[in-house]
Structure 1
Amino acid sequence: MQPSKPAPPGIRHNVHKMLQDDYDNVYKIILLGDATVGKSHLLSHYIRGTLPKQAKATIGVEFATRTVPLASGGTVKAQIWDTAGQERYRSITSAHYRRAVGALLVYDVTNRQSFYNCQKWLDELRLAAEPDIVVVLVGNKIDLTIQDPSVRQVHRDQAAMFANEWNLHLFEASAVSGQNVKDVFEFLLQEIHNLKSRADAPHGNEEATISTSESSRIDPLRVSRRRPNDTVLGCLQQDGCSGGSCMFQ
């Protein structure tokens, strides 16, 4: 019996393309905020479900991807860019804001200055990113406040006022415990998808599109009371990573 012949190059290319195109849209989102607020840990927990083995400062920009099924239907690929918070990398990181359609603006709930600096980060972002970029304000490290409430320096009401003033969504999360991490990223992706769907919808279908969008929304201020979503999604090792560097290699 003769061994089977390998598929012709054209067929192999088409199969590879089908695997590559198993999503409806690609959304570029970025994480920004001061150094040490936990941006890389949030990304690592979302992509791998664990924290990096060794904590280190992000140098320039790091990049990961994940394919995500949306609650409203359809699948998107998230290109997630983790930017350095140090001043000396500012010119490098701000260049990567271009064409971003979503952002997580991260501060540390135990560090008041990291919250005050969110205004500066937001100003820089809106100068370079897409004009309709969806921004989620994320107060990280709430696990520390559970252990000792006295360490909290940024109260939720204060963050909510800032979020309302600048039309941001607000979450509090913990990269260490994983609380709300998945919800933060996937709320952002769903909001981007809703916005793009409304923009692309024919004029006659606008009302129906908005109705669908509203029915799939999460209330970020109440997200801690939602029932956890147990859906298992692909991880970085399945989707691969590319770009400047990868924190997980």
Structure 2
Amino acid sequence: MLIRLIVVLVGDSGVGKTTLVSTFVKEKPDLEITSTVCIEMRVHEVELINSSYVKLEIWDSAGCEKYRSVAKNHYKNALGALIVYNITQRESFTNVDNWLKLIRENCPEDAVIYLIGNKLNRNDILGEGRP
């Protein structure tokens, strides 16, 4: 049996949404990532314990304002949303409320929403060994 799930990623530009998706799909970080323009979709199949499969359609949206109206059209069938912010940029966390509002206005009411603090690996900013 194949189950289809749509998940959307939102957050400010440069918070690492595309890197998260690429790392999940390829199972290793992609060091040659460029900024997303508008919206990109990646598909990844995951085998479950009972030999069923989940086909994840992961919609990675650009963080800049000019593409939001286009990206919103892809949210209406999403069963999950990931709001990503950069833990080293306070403004990206401050903008989480705006992203949450966008998700609540455009995704189904029962969509599961996760908040992800990203870029913990940035030791050059945080200091070696600090969480």
2:87–2:117 contact (8 Å) kept in structure 1: yes
Considering only CA atoms, is the larger Rg found in Structure 1 or Structure 2? 1
SS in 2 for 1:142: coil
> Which residue of structure 2 aligns with residue 140 of structure 1?
118
**What is the TM-score with the length of structure 2 in the denominator?**
0.88
- Cα root mean square deviation, aligned: 2.3
**What is the TM-score with the length of structure 1 in the denominator?**
0.48
> Which residue of structure 2 aligns with residue 56 of structure 1?
34
Single out whichever of 39-48 and 66-75 deviates more from structure 2.
66-75
C-alpha distance in structure 1 between counterparts of 2:72 and 2:5, whole Å: 18
Higher strand share: 2
> Which residue of structure 2 aligns with residue 107 of structure 1?
85
Displacement after TM superposition at 1:89 (Å): 0.8
C-alpha distance in structure 2 between counterparts of 1:71 and 1:85, whole Å: 35
Matching of residue 92 in structure 1 with residue 70 in structure 2:
yes
Displacement after TM superposition at 1:112 (Å): 0.6
> Which residue of structure 1 aligns with residue 61 of structure 2?
83
Structure 1 residues 116 and 72: CA distance shift in structure 2, 3 A? farther
> Which residue of structure 2 aligns with residue 120 of structure 1?
98
C-alpha distance in structure 1 between counterparts of 2:68 and 2:97, whole Å: 15
> Which digits, 9 at most, give the CA deviation of each residue in 1:62-100, with x for residues without a partner?
011111123577321101110000111111112211110
Higher helix share: 1
Single out whichever of 74-83 and 25-34 deviates more from structure 2.
74-83
Give the alignment of 1:143-158 within 5 angstroms.
143-145=121-123, 148-149=126-127
> Which digits, 9 at most, give the CA deviation of each residue in 1:183-217, with x for residues without a partner?
xxxxxxxxxxxxxxxxxxxxxxxxxxxxxxxxxxx
Unaligned regions of 5+ residues in structure 2, if any? none
The code of the aligned residue for 2:66 comes to R
Identical amino acids, percent of aligned pairs:
35
C-alpha distance in structure 2 between counterparts of 1:75 and 1:69, whole Å: 5
C-alpha distance in structure 2 between counterparts of 1:67 and 1:73, whole Å: 12
> Which digits, 9 at most, give the CA deviation of each residue in 1:21-52, with x for residues without a partner?
xx431000011100000000000111112333
